[in-house]
Structure 1
Amino acid sequence: MLLPKQFHFLFLLFFLVLNAFAQDKGKLMPFKKIILEIEQQHQVSFNYTENNIAGLELVPPKKSLSLVEKLEYLAQKTHLSFENIDNKFINIYKKENQEPLICGYVFSNTDKKPIENANINLSNKTQVSTDANGYFEFKKEDKNTFLISHIGFLTKKITAGNTDSKDCLQLFLEPEIMQLQEIKANAILASGISKNKDGSFEIKPKKFGILPGLIEPDALQTMQQIPGVNSIDESVSSINVRGGTHDQNLFLWNGIRMFQTGHFFGLISAFNPNLAHTISIYKNGSSAFYGESVSSVVAISSTPETAEKNSFSAGLNMINADVYGKYNISPKGYIEISARKSITDFVETPTYKEYFNKVFQNTTITDFSDKQNVDYHSDKKFGFYDATLKYAQKIGLKDQIVLDLITIKDNLEVFQSAKVYDINSSENNILRQQNYGGNLSWKRNWNSFNTTKINIYNSAYELRANQSTSEGQIVIQENTVNNNGINLENNHILNSKFTINDGYQFNEIGVTNLEQVTNPDFYRKVKDVLRTHALIAEVKYNDTISRIYFKAGSRINYIEKFKKYIIEPRVQFSYGISKSLNAELLGELKSQNSQQIIDLQKDYFGIEKRRWIISNNSTIPIQKSRQLSLNLSYIKNDWLFDIENFYKKVIGITTSSQGFQNQLEFVKTTGDYEVWGTEMLIQKKMNHFLTWLSYTYNHNNYHFSNYEYPIFPNNFEVMHTASWAGIYEKNNFKIALGTKWTSGRPKTSPDNTQIDPSNPTLIYRKPNSDNLHIFSQVNFSSTYKWETANGIQYKLGISILNILNRRNEISEYYRVSSLTNSIEEVETFSLQRTPNVSFRVSY
């Protein structure tokens, strides 16, 4: 007789065996339930149509079988075929007498995840959707062309060819960033100019429309139309961004730092306007990968974003001629060259004469002719050129190398002679300014999520003046800069919203200053070298659905010579409050080890009197800046309203870097400047007509604590600036008219009540306590382009600066005249009415 415990055990064992036998031998289960259990056990996904499995039941396979064995079992027991894709996706379709099918998977190209509910639009107007695995299928037809679309992605057109159901397509859609672009103007100020989510302005010269006074997309002239960017003396070599000096801006050409930015000593940009593909301008909130500046960043890239065809163009205006050519040497490589040269060797145009008069007024060259001499003779030669070379080559599918070379040079020779009281006097002046640069970059796409880029660069700058007189005196002045380094940048895409950038930078800068005089003899040569290392990290979050863009980063600088660490955080935040209204917050801390100073106003003949020096961490401090700005932008119905409030402070400036021509000209001290203000832009587009009005308020003060007047207005303060433009573009005809109005910059006047007329000595009032007269100018430009039947394009342009020929004073200082033994006022004026005509051929 069995005991109760034994009975219970045998009963349980009998039940389990019976249950197993029934499962393996007799009990039928719905096919859909079977594949659901297989999905859970083996972590796979089945793709099928309901019609193929409807009403199907069979005995399930043993759970102990492998996935492959189970699929073989199911194939034997049913009329279906099973396609196993990477043990992740399994397609089920009919094995016999089935209709031809097209099947595929749709993924996001950013994070490679499946896209659910993507619409597949067939040529016969029917539509299917993808499932949770991104899978779709439809009946094959003679014409297998269809469209794939999904919100947030670019629509893609597919031609399937002879593809059958056993070879499913794998399709990737590119994200479409639309939400933030809707609240940004398609064009700001002119076509080809836009504003990015990171707060930067972007100029596309090849898409550039027209601006008043400009017939070519000159990068440095164009950026002066942006609110907050100005030049107090009309020079592209004296661009002031929110009250900063020109040398506080970082100018990069294909990753090469440029120390010379202008031709004709500042009246023309040194960068060929017909070459660049993208110009990015950051007033604030620049990337942590940009160092060595306490003001703005201007990054010029001539590398195209997409492959381009062979092209050639040549142009001529009343100052220079240029050529440009691009040739594809292979399917994966091309070479690009450009060259530009002044035509002043052959002809002196009205434009050249106005430029010459503007540049050389109140310099030692004009001083020589202003000494009431008789029988004065002058022989002058002036010329400039620039040239670039780019070689780009893709290696395999993942690598690309790019070589960039640039050379810029200005050369001036002036011989002057005069006879006074039977005494011959002469001077021979030679001034040369040049900048060479080279950059070799290698970029590798390790995969769809990780990219590495390495740049090795060098930039060499030289400013040299040589003056010899009939009295036997020779004066030589030289300022040279040699800058080289290496940049490493890694880009990691974590998902469709998050990106991380990290890198390392090494930079070495050497500056040499030479002064040599004979009769009397004097010689001084000073060379300084500074090496810095920087570690950089950035994280970017971009959610196009919630309209949030956030980018934060920091660079840690280490200066070898001073054994000093400097941390520079940066932040960019943008939020789309609605489809029409966007808020933007930008902030940054930056530093700079090099700057330009003026030892004497007559150095280098008073034409290019600034020389580069580097910090010694004591009398020449490291300049540091902090800046914060808040922007609101509203765009609707082709209206744009943009307002930005900002605060900026730069410490560590020297009086020598500010160009004083008053009682501080020979004072050596350090301090800071603090500027705050508002920038506004109102713009309206009506069909082919675009008009805008901008206004900038700028309150800018110096702080020199060791000086008797510790606080006074900045030399570069232009408290009020207003600009207006009306632009009409239709087909190939463009015309622009505009005006610019600014309040006068500060000046320092003598205190006449304390000056003895019999023995005049300059005694000044408080620095910058007065202002120059208002600056006002009206400019005009127009271009017309046409194309012949054989594809050759012609472009004709005309511009007139200062149409009303207004005499605008841009600087004023005082000196004691040795001829009259009195104090005289010296004024400098802007360009008079200056016409220009250009003609260009492209094919």
Structure 2
Amino acid sequence: MKKVLLLFYLFSFTVFSQENISLKQVLSQLSKTHKIAFSYNENQIQNFNQILVDSENDLNTILINLSLQTQLVFEKIDEKNYIIRNKSSETKNICAVIYSDKTKEELPFANVYFDDKTVLTNQQGKVEIKDILNDAVISIKLIGYKTKNIPVHSFTTTCKEIFLSEEIHQLNEVVITDYLTTGLSKKKDGSIVLNPKKTGILPGVLEPDVLQSLQLIPGVQSPDETASGIHIRGSTPDQNLVVFDGMKMYHFSHYFGLISAFNPYITNNVKLFRSGTHAKYGNIVGGVLDISIDNNAPDKFSAGFGSTLTHADFFIKAPLLNNKIGLVFSARRSITDFANTITNQKYAEVAFQNSKIAEGLDQENLRITNAKNDFFYEDYYSKILVAPNEKNQLSFSYLYSLNDLNFTGENPRTQEDFRDDIVIKNKGFHTDWKLDLADKGSHKIAFAKTDFYKDYDGSRIRTRPNGNQDNVFFNKTNTVQETSAEYSFKKETKKQNHWEIGTQFSNHQLTYNFKRIRSALNDFVDDNINGKMFSYALFSEYQINTNNKWLINLGLRWQHFNGIAKNFVEPRFNINYKTTKNLNFKFSTELKHQSVSQVLDFRNDGLGGLFNHFWALADERELPVLQSFQTTIGADYQKKGWTLDLEIYHKNIDGILFLFDQNVRAQKYYSGTNSVNGLDLLIKKQWYNYNTWVSYSLSKSIYHFNNLNDGDNFNGSFDTPHNFIWSHNYNLKKVEFSLGWRFRSGIPYTVKTAELNNSNRLKIVFNDLNTERLPNYKRLDFSARYKFYFKRDKNIKGQLGFTLQNILNRRNILSRDYEIQTIVNGQGANRTEKEVLVETDKISLGFVPNISFRVYF
């Protein structure tokens, strides 16, 4: 019977919210539903015939809303009886401090309404009101938060603490809020959105780093522990599309992958697609990472600066010309070249391992003398926003990042001199113009240019016992130049459906040069790859919303690559069905193609793997166009602090490429397929100030190459059947703590042997590929963050962060390879040399502490 009454109550008030009814009708309905009685004078209520009642089932909230509309007092006598009277003339003084219930931070400049008056909370979130009627109700409103109504009589002589809940806009699009922590949400289209400004603390993540934060999401991982080495459901980093403020990124890390090149303190939103990619995203077969910066001119000045044990940075956001123009600028530079902190030492140990650079940095290594390592990185970003009126908006963005390394050293025992110079540059420019015509739709025209440059020069000069020199010189250069333009039109049709259509043009120019000269062996390799390609695309997508139950994205993309004179049609289909308020089912399928990808180069370059990938263009002779087909089905559920998200997928990628040394294989390039089946699961429980979650991925990656492994299937190079993360977050007002345990299967590797060549020198021979597997990976991380104010007026805010990565100091093996090394015995005339095959492991970060300090104003 209670359920029937509740349904009747909800239905009745849904009807009420759609039309104006009298106060007497409302009271009659409340009396029947809640079995209560109201005592009142008919003259008090007879004039209230235009009452609006929301579909709210909380009696106290309903009575407060009625009081706000009528200025009457609904006074509770006992559990069954209420009286209605006019407000008395009694007054009191009240005090309150307004907080965010998520961050526990004070909320300045919140609007407090009472008796047709408005006051604002100060910068400390505090408000004081004198001589306010004791029967009044105050209403607290702030953009981004739910409005809260509180009776004045509930205030005491002490200052009342009031907590506002965040308001999630576009509720019809959001499926899961606080996906892992605050600032992370999941939408109906399957995308996961991260807001670095609101992101809560995560284990092992010192700053709100975009790339490191996303690695805690099921289906996303980095087998080599780098920030940039993101694998999304079996897709390697080069198969994923990374867009930063409209610019496609071909390099997005510092310190050879360990640190993200994106400054998190200016980033607005990050949208991750593991599947169900929109039709506007093209020339990619993996996931999508779309990183955006503020698109509206800032309305007030803000700035910040800070430092970690590896770099320092600052940013400013400033309105200009009456908020018609806005400026955003950030700069960051490493301190690695003048401060050898413990974190820098740990990073260098991992980044340069298995190379002469690592030997030179090892102070206990007596073989390398006169070692000198000059290494630094920096990045700069600027954006100008122009909004002359409500309809027009223009923006201009520029990005520059640099990694520069110069190493020299000597080995007196082997009479060998070393030199390594590496320069990595990435520059980008983007501009767009948006015209918003309201009901007639919006137009956007954009232009972007990206330049990527990576160059390595190295030498190994050795004097043998007989006085002859064995000199080896290396040079590798990889460049990418991309120019693109786009036009798109968006319009909201009937019933809140959306339609988007657009066209894209891009021009790619890529070069790769590999040189290796061994003077003693008369070994000379000079490999050049040059490519140019124009591509054109048309795309269209229609989004259907049906009573907030169904969300269907129907997308179609036509792509033409003139370099290979081929057309590709790519259907994209994504559906989400909301069965109840808390439960959703989803399905997506998509076909995608990619003409620009990286090739894995196995040839020895003396760097130990620092430069073993290069970007190349498809030519349909040796370098094929990649093709991916993916289907995903799943469900998600969120209620009473519980979050469950389950997705099962199948992905097939055709055209992946290996490049072997021509001295090892007769054939140079090998093309094959990668088939991935997987399951991604998230289970999370949220309490008031504590939450815990489990992120688990079960997957299987299988390679097939007709000309490798006798044509038999073998494990994918990054196959990790199990990937498990268990994290805990605890929030104690201004202090946050996070602890996380990571476990994953070791990746496969290929055993190699050695045999003598015609010159009586050893050469490497490959056994069957990826038949062995590394030990399992385990790591425990801890993070803490404390927020504070420097002054009482709280104009200047500080933040102190602290992380302990790999607390147990477990040195996991990330990869395994083999190389031929020369062993020297004896000295002088008795010195002998012998070549041997050596197994070389790439070892993970050990125990790494790091500290950050930031100031905002």
Tell me what 2:257 maps to. 266
Q: What is aligned with 2:329? A: 337
Q: Give the conservation status (yes or no) of the 8 Å contact 1:598–1:610.
A: yes
Q: Does 1:465 align with 2:464?
A: no
- Tell me the distance in 1 between the aligned counterparts of 2:438 and 2:658: 52
Which of 192, 203, 226 aligns to 2:217? It is 226
- SS for the counterpart of 1:696 is strand
Quick one: which of 554, 557, 562 aligns to 1:555? 557
Counterpart CA distance in 1 for 2:545 and 2:772 is 49
Q: Distance in 1 between matches of 2:612 and 2:753?
A: 28
Task: State the alpha-carbon separation in 1 of the partners of residues 211 and 368 from structure 2.
Answer: 41
| TM-score, normalised via structure 2 length | 0.75
Distance 1:535 1:695 in 2: 37
Residue in structure 2 matched with residue 786 of structure 1 by the alignment: 788
Bigger drift between 228-237 and 798-807 goes to 228-237
Check 1:155–1:448 CA distance in 2 against 1; reply closer, same or farther (3 A cut): farther
Change (3 A) 1:124 1:307: farther
Which residue of the partner structure matches residue 338 of structure 2?
Answer: 346
Equivalent of 1:597 in 599, 611, 618: 599
Query: Which residue of structure 2 aligns with residue 78 of structure 1?
Result: none
User: Conserved in 2, the CA contact under 8 Å of 1:662 and 1:813?
Assistant: no
Q: Which secondary structure state, in structure 2, belongs to the residue aligned with residue 225 of structure 1? A: coil
Distance 2:726 2:577 in 1: 29
The higher radius of gyration belongs to 1
**Matched-pair contact (CA < 8 Å) for 2:189–2:276:** yes
Q: Is 2:377 the counterpart of 1:384?
A: yes
Match of 2:70 in 1: 124
SS at match of 2:728: strand
Q: 1:453 maps to which residue?
A: 444
| Residue 522 of structure 1, CA deviation | 7.0
Alpha-carbon displacement from aligned partner over 1:575-624 (angstroms, at most 9, x marks no partner): 11111211011221111101111334433723122111100022111001
Counterpart code for 1:215: L
Q: Which SS does the other structure have where 2:278 is aligned?
A: coil
Q: Distance in 1 between matches of 2:361 and 2:539?
A: 55
Contact 1:256 / 1:437 at 8 angstroms: preserved in 2? Answer: yes
| Aligned mates of 2:598, 2:356 — CA distance in 1 | 21
Q: Using the alignment, how far apart are the partners of 1:626 and 1:292 within structure 2? A: 13
Matches within 5 A, 1:424-503: 425-468=416-459, 475-503=474-502
Structure 1 residues 363-762: aligned runs within 5 Å: 363-366=355-358, 374=367, 376-420=369-413, 423=415, 425-468=416-459, 475-515=474-514, 525-543=528-546, 545-603=547-605, 605=607, 606-656=609-659, 668-707=669-708, 708-750=710-752
Q: Which stretch of structure 1 is more off in the superposition, 254-263 or 493-502?
A: 493-502
Question: Conserved in 2, the CA contact under 8 Å of 1:623 and 1:650?
Answer: yes
Instruction: Please list the CA deviations of residues 35-86 of structure 1 after superposition, one character each: whole Å capped at 9, or x if unmatched.
Output: xxxxxxxxxxxxx99xxxxxxxxxxxxxxxxxxxxxxxxxxxxxxxxxxxxx
Equivalent pair of 1:193/1:208 in contact (CA under 8 Å): yes
CA distance in 1, matches of 2:373, 2:116: 74
Q: 1: distance between equivalents of 2:768 and 2:309?
A: 44
Moved more, 456-465 or 662-671: 662-671
TM-aligned CA deviation for residue 476 of structure 1? 3.1
- Alignment correspondent of 1:839: 853
**What does the per-residue CA deviation read over 1:156-181, in whole Å, with 9 as the maximum and x for residues that have no partner?**
99xxxxxxxxxxxxxxxx99744564
Distance 2:393 2:630 in 1: 37
Instruction: Return the TM-score normalized by structure 1.
Output: 0.76
In structure 2, the residue corresponding to 1:706 is in which secondary structure? coil
CA positional deviation for 1:144? 11
Instruction: Give 3-state SS (helix, strand or coil) of 2:494's partner.
Output: coil
The Cα RMSD (Å) is 3.6
> Residue 636 of structure 1 aligns to which amino acid in structure 2?
K
1:693, distance to aligned residue in structure 2 (A): 0.7
- 1:465–1:604 contact (8 Å) kept in structure 2: no
Q: Distance in 1 between matches of 2:192 and 2:663?
A: 37
| Contact 2:755–2:765 (Cα < 8 Å) also in 1 | no
The residue type equivalent to 2:337 in the other structure is D
**Cα offsets for 1:160-205 (capped at 9, x unmatched):** xxxxxxxxxxxxxx99744564xx3320111111111110110000
Q: Aligned in 2, Cα 1:574/1:364: closer, same or farther, shift over 3 Å? A: same
Q: 1:574 to 1:663 in 2, by over 3 A?
A: farther
The separation in 1 between residues aligned to 2:168 and 2:800, in whole angstroms, is 40
Task: Give secondary structure in 1 for the equivalent of 2:339.
Answer: coil
Using the alignment, how far apart are the partners of 1:759 and 1:466 within structure 2? 25
SS state at 2:197 partner: helix
SS in 2 for 1:633: strand
Percent of residue pairs bearing the same amino acid type: 29
Inter-partner Cα distance in structure 1 for 2:146 and 2:714: 59
Give the distance between the partners of 2:259 and 2:690, measured in 1 at CA.
28
Q: Flag the 1:190–1:666 CA change in 2: closer, same or farther, 3 A.
A: farther
Aligned 8 A contact 1:596 1:612 in 2? yes
Structure 2 CA distance for aligned equivalents of residues 773 and 510 of structure 1: 41
Q: How does 1:276-315 map to 2 (within 5 A)?
A: 276-304=267-295, 307-315=298-306
User: Counterpart amino acid of 2:855?
Assistant: V
Tell whether 2:814 aligns with 1:810.
yes
1:693-743, CA deviations, whole angstroms, 9 ceiling, x for partnerless residues? 121111110011233143101001001111000001232211100010001
Change in Cα spacing, 1:594 to 1:752, as seen in structure 2 (3 Å) is closer
Following superposition, the deviation at residue 642 of structure 1 comes to: 1.2
Cα 1:522–1:761 change in 2 (3 A) is closer
Distance 1:448 1:125, change over 3 A: farther
1:823 and 2:828 aligned: no
Ranges in structure 2 where 5+ consecutive residues have no aligned partner: 1-19, 22-48, 51-64, 73-114, 119-136, 140-144, 149-166, 462-468, 824-833
User: Cα distance, 1:752 vs. partner?
Assistant: 11
Change (3 A) 1:680 1:156: closer
Give, as a single letter, the amino acid of the residue that structure 1 aligns with 2:732. Answer: K
Structure 1 position 760, deviation (Å): 7.5
| Whole-angstrom distance in 1 between the partners of 2:765 and 2:503 | 52
Tell me, yes or no, if the aligned pair for 2:219 and 2:233 is still in contact at 8 Å.
Answer: yes
The within-5 A match list for 1:167-186 is 177-178=170-171, 181=174, 184-186=175-177
Q: What residue is the counterpart of 1:138 in the other structure?
A: none
Distance 1:350 1:639 in 2: 40
Q: Cα gap change, 1:191/1:666 in structure 2, threshold over 3 Å: closer, same or farther?
A: farther
The whole-number CA distance in structure 1 between the counterparts of 2:435 and 2:317 is: 24
Any idea what the Cα deviations from partners look like across 1:128-168, whole Å, max 9, x if unmatched?
xxxxxxxxxxxxxx9699999xxxxx9999xxxxxxxxxxx
| 1:432–1:501 CA distance, 2 compared to 1 (3 A) | same
Check conservation: 2:755, 2:762, Cα contact below 8 A.
no
Question: 2:173–2:187: 8 Å Cα contact kept in structure 1?
Answer: no
Q: Distance in 1 between matches of 2:611 and 2:721?
A: 26
Alignment of 1:135-284 (within 5 A): 177-178=170-171, 181=174, 184-284=175-275
Q: Is the 8 A contact 1:373 1:419 kept in 2?
A: no
Distance 1:799 1:761 in 2: 44
- What displacement does 1:660 show? 11
Distance in 2 (alpha carbons) for counterparts of 1:177 and 1:522: 58
DSSP-derived class of the 2:798 partner: strand
Q: For 1:347, what is the secondary structure of its paired residue? A: coil
Give yes or no for contact 2:458–2:606 (8 Å, CA) kept in 1. no
**Structure 1 residues 743 and 475 mapped into 2: Cα distance closer, same or farther (>3 Å)?**
closer
Instruction: Check conservation: 2:359, 2:365, Cα contact below 8 A.
Output: no
Matched positions, count: 690
In 1, Cα distance between equivalents of 2:841 and 2:266: 37
For the residues of structure 2 that align with 1:665 and 1:363, how far apart are their CA atoms?
28
What is the DSSP-based 3-state SS (H/G/I as helix, E as strand, rest coil) of the residue aligned with 2:669? coil
* Cα distance change, pair 627–571 in 1 and its aligned pair in 2 (3 A): same
3-state DSSP class of the match of 2:785?
strand
Instruction: Report the 3-state secondary structure (helix = DSSP H, G, I; strand = E; otherwise coil) of the residue aligned with 2:412.
Output: strand
Q: 1:645-671: per-residue Cα shift (whole Å, max 9, x none)?
A: 000000111123xx9999889752211
| Alignment check: 8 A CA contact 1:321 1:343 kept | yes
